[in-house]
């Protein structure tokens, strides 16, 4: 894959999975664990958790895509 296309796919997947993580974390009851769940510190924690989770999931899918593209050379021998 070309580097430009790979970069665009990486950026889009990261943003999609960060947004999906944010959406999923909305259902988590932070009020059980945090002193002020509606404060700016709680929102910052949610943003950071969304980035960490989204980045990890995006890296998994990008690795999987790379591995599956490498399999072509295995079978094209």
14-67 pLDDT, tens digit each: 999 999 999 999 998 888 888 888 889 989 999 999 999 999 999 999 999 889
- 1 pLDDT exceeds 70? no
pLDDT at 75: 78
- 6 pLDDT exceeds 70? yes
Q: Rounded CA gap, 31 and 75, in Å? A: 53
pTM: 0.82
Residue 77: band (very low, low, confident or very high) from pLDDT cuts 50, 70, 90: low
Q: Rounded CA gap, 38 and 36, in Å? A: 6
């Amino acid at each position: 894959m070309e580097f430009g296309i790979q970069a665009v796919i990486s950026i889009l997947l990261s943003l999609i999975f960060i947004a999906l993580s944010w959406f999923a974390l909305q259902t988590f009851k932070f009020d059980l664990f945090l002193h002020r769940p509606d404060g700016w510190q709680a929102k910052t924690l949610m943003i950071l958790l969304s980035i960490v989770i989204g980045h990890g999931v995006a890296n998994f899918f990008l690795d999987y895509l790379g591995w599956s593209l490498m399999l072509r050379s295995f079978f094209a021998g």
